[in-house]
Structure 1
Amino acid sequence: MQFPALPEIPHPLQFKSVTFTALKPGPKLIVLGAVHGNEVSGSKAILKVIGEFERGELLLSTGQVTLVPITNPLAYNRRQRNGDRNLNRNLTPTNTPVDFEDHVANWLCPLLAQHDVLLDIHSFQKGEVPFALFGPENNRGTLQPFVHARAERELARCLGVTRFVDGWLETYAKGVENRVAYLKANQLPDAGLNTDPRYGMGTTECMRSSGGYAVTLECGQHEAPTGPAVAYDAIDRTLRHLGLVEGAPVELVQQWQRLTLVEVIDKQDDRDEFCRAWSSFDEIRKGELIGIRHGGQEVRAPRDGFIVFPNSTSKAGQEWFYVAIDQSALGCA
C-alpha cells in the first residue's frame, strides 16, 4: 500500500483541517494525526484518505468528516513528541495562552466540539501489537461523566485490533494524589500542571466533555512500516461503521484482550532508570524489579499485571510507567 510523502511545514504556527460534507445528514467524525509530532503513521493514512476523497475514489454518502493530518505542527516540524509541552495533557481552551500547545487547544477544542465522534491516531515508543483505548462506563461522576459507553466500545471493536485499554483518566487522577503526597512528604515545591488532575485531559477527554465519544488508536511502534496501513484500515472501517461511506458492513471483533490501567509510577529524578528495556504489555509479577531510583532505591512491581507506556525519557514528576490488569472476562460491551 502506497502512502503520500509527508509534507514540509515552513511556517508551523498555523493549523489546517480538511472537511468533507455529504448532502444527507449523519454523524460528524473527526480524525486526528500527529497530536504528538513524531507519531506520523496516522498522518500518512489521513493524507491518503484526503487524496481519495479529492479524486472521487471515496464519496461521503452521509454526515461529515474532518481530517487533520498534523494536529501539532510545531512538534511535527521539530520531529519530536512535544512542541513546548505534551498536547495530550491539559487540553483545554485558555484566555491566557503561555505555550504553543495552549494555542493548539484554543483551535482544537472548539473544532472537536463541532463533531460527534473522534478517532485519534497515535503510535508508541516500545512494543509491537496495535491497540485501542476507550473511556469510562456510563456515569454521572465529577471526573468524567459519560453516556456513550456502548457506542464508544463498538467503535473500538470496529478498528481491526484485538487489544483494548481503559482506566486512563481515573488512574492518572490517583497518580496525581500520590504525586502531591510525595512532594508534601519531601517538602518539595508544587510541580504546577503535573499536580492538577485536569492535566490528564487529552483529546478524547475533551471530546467526551463536549458530549461526543472518542477512541485512541495506537497503531504500532513509531517507526513500524505497518503503522500507516493499520491507521488507514481503521479510518476505512470507522467510515463504514458510522455509515459515512458505502461499503461492506464492519464486523466487530468478538475475541479480545482488555487491560485496565490501575496504577501509575512517576519518575522522582530525571536519572531514575529501568533495569531493562521494557515494552508496553510486557507481563510483570508482583515484586519483580522494574527499575532503580537515582538514589539507589529499587522500584518493584506492585502487583501481577502488565507494564504499559514505559517512558525512559520522562522527567521527574512525570509518568514513568503504568501498571494494568487483565479484565478480559468483563468484555468490552
Structure 2
Amino acid sequence: MTSDSVRLARSEFVSKDPGARVLITGGVHGDEFEPMQAIRELIARFEQDSLQLLRGSLILVPVVNEMAFLRGHRAADDGKDLARTCPGRDDGSVTERTAAALSQLIEESDYYIDLHTGGTEFSVFPLAGYTLHPDQNVLDKQRAMAIAFNLPIVWGTAGNLDGRSLSVARDANVPAIYTEYLGGAPCSDDGIAAYVEGCVNVLMHLYMLKGESPASRVSAIVEDSRTGSGHMQVCHPSPITGYFHPQVSLGDSIEAGQSLGWVSSILGDNVIDVPADRDGIVLVLRTFPRVRKGESVGVVLDGADEYQKEIK
C-alpha cells in the first residue's frame, strides 16, 4: 500500500468460530444515504451484542466514497463515478484510489453485499440484483442471497458490465448482490429498516446469525441476459437539456409508446415526449427535474406482467 492509498473506514466483527468473510458496503455514491445509515445501525447492533455472529467475520463499510459524500454528490471532485472505475489504481485520482481499496476488500471476501439507492436524482423500486455469472455455483449463491434479502424484485442482469464493484466480485468469483431502494434525496426510514433487515436475512441465510427467516416479500424473479441489461443510466435518454415532467409513478404498469414524461426547454418553447420503449413496470424514475441531453429519465422492467399488480 502506498502513502497515497485510501483506507476505507470500517468496522469488523469476528466470531470465535471460523466461517465465511462477508463484506457489506454503502456510500459507493456519495448521495445515497439509506445504505450509510443502515450500516451504521448494523454496527451499533453488533457493538451492543443485540446481534452476534455464530461463525465467520463481517466487515461493514458505511461510506466507501467519503469525498463524494462530503460534497453531497454522486462523485468526488475528480468527477469520476466510482461504480465505473473499479478495480481502480493506488497511484491514481482519489476515486481511482478509493476503487482500489474497495476492490481489495471485495477480493478478500467470500460474499459481498453492496447497498445503493437512486441518489438525489432518481427513485428506484426496491430490488436486489446480481450479475448472471458464468459459474453456475456462483450464480446460484447470488440468486439465493438476493431472494433472502427479501425485497419485492429480484433482478439478474448481464454480467458483461465492467468498472463496477460487482464486476470485481465477478472476476474474483465472489458471490455478490447489490440492492436499490428509492432515493430522490430524502433518507427513507422504511428504506433503512428494509436494508438492516435484508442484511440480517442474508447473514441468517449464510448461517452466520440465529433467527427465523421472515415471510417472503419477493414478488418476482427476473433474469435478463441481454447485453447491457442492468445499465440503468442509458435507458430512455432525454432528447434535450431542460426540465423533466414525469407522467407516471414508480411501480406503474406501462405500455410501449406510453409517455414516461416530457422534457421542456428552458423557455418552454420546445416540449418533447419520452415514450416507454417496452411494456413493463416503471422500475426507475427521474425525480430531479433538471435533465441534460442524453441523461436517463427512467427505466422500464419488462417480463413482469404476472406480478405488476402485486408490487404496486
Call closer, same or farther: CA 1:248–1:217 in 2, change over 3 Å.
same
1:77-156 matches, within 5 Å, as 77-83=70-76, 84-94=79-89, 97-98=92-93, 100-124=94-118, 126-127=122-123, 129-136=125-132, 138-139=133-134, 147-156=137-146
**Structure 2 Cα separation of the partners of residues 31 and 152 of structure 1:** 14
**Structure 2 Cα separation of the partners of residues 321 and 169 of structure 1:** 21
**Structure 1 Cα separation of the partners of residues 292 and 137 of structure 2:** 35
**Structure 2 Cα separation of the partners of residues 289 and 220 of structure 1:** 21
Matched positions, count: 281
Is the Cα–Cα contact under 8 Å of residues 128 and 220 in structure 1 kept in the other structure? yes
**Please, which moves more after superposition, 148-157 or 310-319?**
310-319
Q: For residue 169 of structure 2, what is the aligned residue in structure 1?
A: 207
Instruction: Report the identity percentage.
Output: 20
Call closer, same or farther: CA 1:34–1:236 in 2, change over 3 Å.
same
Is the Cα–Cα contact under 8 Å of residues 279 and 308 in structure 1 kept in the other structure? no
- Is residue 178 of structure 2 the alignment partner of residue 216 of structure 1? yes
Shift of 1:16: 0.8
Residue identity opposite 1:165 in structure 2: W
Residue identity opposite 2:156 in structure 1: D
**Structure 2 Cα separation of the partners of residues 267 and 239 of structure 1:** 40
Q: For residue 257 of structure 2, what is the aligned residue in structure 1?
A: 287
Q: For residue 192 of structure 1, what is the aligned residue in structure 2?
A: none
Call closer, same or farther: CA 1:275–1:82 in 2, change over 3 Å.
same
Call closer, same or farther: CA 1:296–1:53 in 2, change over 3 Å.
closer
Give the unaligned 5+ runs of structure 1.
1-12, 140-144, 171-196
Secondary structure (helix, strand or coil) at the match of 1:233 reads helix
Q: For residue 310 of structure 2, what is the aligned residue in structure 1?
A: none
Call closer, same or farther: CA 1:280–1:132 in 2, change over 3 Å.
farther
Q: For residue 326 of structure 1, what is the aligned residue in structure 2?
A: 303
**Structure 1 Cα separation of the partners of residues 170 and 29 of structure 2:** 20
Residue identity opposite 1:15 in structure 2: L
Call closer, same or farther: CA 1:59–1:255 in 2, change over 3 Å.
closer
Q: For residue 184 of structure 1, what is the aligned residue in structure 2?
A: none
Secondary structure (helix, strand or coil) at the match of 1:310 reads strand
**Structure 1 Cα separation of the partners of residues 47 and 217 of structure 2:** 35
Corresponding residue to 1:45 among 21, 29, 38: 38
CA RMSD of aligned residues (A): 3.0
Q: For residue 29 of structure 2, what is the aligned residue in structure 1?
A: 36
Call closer, same or farther: CA 1:127–1:77 in 2, change over 3 Å.
closer
- Is residue 221 of structure 2 the alignment partner of residue 258 of structure 1? yes
Residue identity opposite 2:128 in structure 1: A
Is the Cα–Cα contact under 8 Å of residues 127 and 281 in structure 1 kept in the other structure? no
Call closer, same or farther: CA 1:156–1:284 in 2, change over 3 Å.
same
Relative to the length of structure 2, the TM-score reads 0.77
Corresponding residue to 1:54 among 47, 60, 63: 47
Relative to the length of structure 1, the TM-score reads 0.73
**Structure 2 Cα separation of the partners of residues 212 and 134 of structure 1:** 11
Residue identity opposite 1:301 in structure 2: A
Corresponding residue to 1:302 among 258, 277, 288: 277
Call closer, same or farther: CA 1:152–1:314 in 2, change over 3 Å.
farther
Give the unaligned 5+ runs of structure 2.
1-5, 308-312
